Amino acid sequence: MSRDIIICSGLGKTFETSRGAVHVIDHVDLKVQENEFLVLFGPGQCGKSTMINCMAGLEPVTQGSVEIHGKKVVKPGPDRGVVYQRMALFPWLTVMGNVEYGPKVRGISKEERRNKAQYYIDLVGLKGFENSYPNQLSGGMQQRVGIARAYCNEPDVLFMDEPFGHLDAQTRYLMQEDLMKIWEKEKRTIVFVTNNIEEALYLADRIIVMTNCPTNIKKEYEINLPRPRNYVDKEFLALREEISQVVDKAL
């Protein structure tokens, strides 16, 4: 039986700036189920990153609340992992050093954390690159390290903010495919942000279409297409067309 792991109730966010208040998130009610792959899809600058930052506890909410496992989110925590567009990997650490960093900080023994890190390095397809440094890796490989690092903390929820946004189209398809394989093997609750409709449809159990800023939920779609999905499948293309019509044009 699935259950809600994240509950956003009347979630709102207003930034106070020198030029006045900027209202970015407007009363979002949203529940995310355990092991669900949820995609937040919306135009650029609508407030997607702000949503994720509020849910991850990186940014304080100003109205309403976010709860994870029934506990109010007020600050970042090891039960939540974040993967960004450009992973801030530690350039002075190897792939192994980066991936085992979280468990190391938490005091996990060397043998245990190495085993764990190796498992996730293998899972993301970086076997053989354990001793490479980030600047020796391609953009796609760096994102793989970021995913392995986030997974290695074994968080309950993974937040991914346009993690493939800067990759070339070919690498992006490959990363989507591999992320699906990883997720199917190691189920986690994932909240994934994108403004790419194909990416959303390829990955999601459910797509939440966000409005322009101040953002709210415009519409949601359960995506029941079998996996692995095919970008040129008839139903895939029909949904792509439908959702493209619904989403706001970026301001």
Ligand X SMILES: Nc1ncnc2c1ncn2[C@@H]1O[C@H](COP(=O)(O)OP(=O)(O)O)[C@@H](O)[C@H]1O
Residues lying near ligand X in the complex (CB under 6 A) are found at 15, 17, 22, 24, 42, 44-50, 213
189 lies in the site for Mg ion, by CB under 5 A: no
Angle (CA) 187 88 97, round 5°: 75
CA-CA distance, 227 to 224, in Å (whole number)?
9
For residue 231, CA distances in Å to 170, 199, 225, 236, 240 come to: 13, 9, 11, 6, 9
Q: How far is the CB of 55 from ligand X (least distance, A)?
A: 12
Answer yes or no: are the C-beta atoms of 183 and 153 closer than 8 Å: no
The half-sphere exposure of 156 on its side-chain side, counting CA atoms within 13 A, is: 18
Nearer CB in complex with ligand X: 47/146: 47
Nearer CB in complex with ligand X: 5/247: 247
Angle (CA) 85 88 89, round 5°: 120
Nearer CB in complex with ligand X: 49/189: 49
Q: How far is the CB of 62 from ligand X (least distance, A)?
A: 12
Residue 110's Cα: distance from chain center in Å? 28
Q: How far is the CB of 170 from ligand X (least distance, A)?
A: 24
Q: How far is the CB of 210 from ligand X (least distance, A)?
A: 7
Nearer CB in complex with ligand X: 7/22: 22
CA-CA distance, 59 to 155, in Å (whole number)?
19
Residue 199's Cα: distance from chain center in Å? 12
Q: Comparing C-alpha atoms, which of 108, 109, 130, 133 is closest to residue 119?
A: 130
Q: How far is the CB of 17 from ligand X (least distance, A)?
A: 5
212 lies in the site for Mg ion, by CB under 5 A: no
Beta strands in the chain (DSSP E): 4-17, 20-33, 37-41, 63-68, 71-72, 80-83, 157-161, 189-194, 206-210, 217-222
Nearer CB in complex with ligand X: 98/194: 194
Amino acid in the structure at residue 83: V
Q: Which does 180 bind (CB under 5 to 8 A by kind): ligand X, Mg ion, none?
A: none
Q: How far is the CB of 173 from Mg ion (least distance, A)?
A: 21
Q: Which does 15 bind (CB under 5 to 8 A by kind): ligand X, Mg ion, none?
A: ligand X
Q: Which does 22 bind (CB under 5 to 8 A by kind): Mg ion, ligand X, none?
A: ligand X
Nearer CB in complex with Mg ion: 51/68: 51
What binding mask, one character per residue, do residues 38-77 give for Mg ion by CB under 5 A, x or -? Answer: -----------x----------------------------
Residues that bind Mg ion (CB under 5 A): 49
